[in-house]
A and B are shown apart, each in its own frame.
Chain A
Amino acid sequence: QSVLTQPPSASGTPGQRVTISCSGSSSNIGTIYVYWYQQVPGTAPKLLIYRNNQRPSGVPARFSGSKSGTSASLAISGLRSEDEADYYCAAWDDSLRGPRVFGGGTKLTV
């Protein structure tokens, strides 16, 4: 059972906006950074969002992250077929020895 809670599935049609939620507690999301990863089945996860709402270079602006209290969300606008994948939230701070926890993942169907 994962420390962070995500809905098992989400869906949308091309062009739509979808959001994926991630729920935690005051000991993880509530106090530290949230990260989001995209994983196409059979491949490694790919960093989408770091430190709650920052996008690495190369990640389209269609992807955005937010955090409020002990919950976080990933929003994908202008949905495309290639966005069909599993999405994982994760949480940790910058301390080297702190825990790094993940959600169980949300399968997005386009």
Chain B
Amino acid sequence: QVQLVQSEAELKKPGASVKVSCKASGYTFSGYYMYWLRQAPGQGPDYIGWINPNNGDTHYEQKYQGRVTMTRDTSMNTVYMELSRLRFDDTAVYYCARGVRFDLWGQGTQVIVS
């Protein structure tokens, strides 16, 4: 079954870091870039950046640069997104999404900063 399965919800304090995982299955992991987005309550998705599973190359949107790190483990078909120096307004559901069309999404990971 083609799917992306993300890690469970997290509750963090301001200033801490959070690391969210996204495990791919049912398709060739190296065949698609993986993107990360987040969605605050009542708002549209906000784009964070991407990772190339082949070589680990990354690109981050400017507003997240310096706080976000994306990595991958090809042996586990899994990508990770770590966000540091958490603030209250980082509270959101974080999603991984496949490919330039975002044609497959993970189920989302709720991150609460409180």
Binding site for B on A (CB under 8 A): 2, 35, 37, 43-47, 50, 56, 88, 90, 94, 96-97, 99-105
Contacts and interface: CB of A to CB of B under 8 A. Distances in A.
Contacts of B107: 43-44
Contacts of B47: 99-102
Contacts of A46: 105
Residues of A contacting B: mostly: loop
A45 B100 contact: no
A103 B46 CA distance: 10
B38 to A, nearest CB: 11
B43 A35 contact: no
B102 A2 contact: no
Interface of B: 33, 35, 43-47, 50, 59, 61, 95, 100-103, 105-108
Contact of A102 (B35, B46, B61): B46
Contacts, number: 49
Nearest to B103: A47
A104 B44 contact: yes
Residues of B contacting A: mostly: loop
Contacts of A101: 47
A94 B100 CA distance: 7
Given A45-B102, A45-B105, A50-B103, A96 B59 contact: yes
Contact of A44 (B50, B100, B105): B105
Contacts of B35: 100
B108 A44 contact: yes
A47 B46 contact: no
Nearest to A94: B100
A44 B106 contact: yes
A104 B41 CA distance: 11
B16 to A, nearest CB: 25
Contact of B102 (A35, A94, A104): A35
Given A44-B95, A96-B50, A37 B102 contact: yes
A100 B95 CA distance: 15
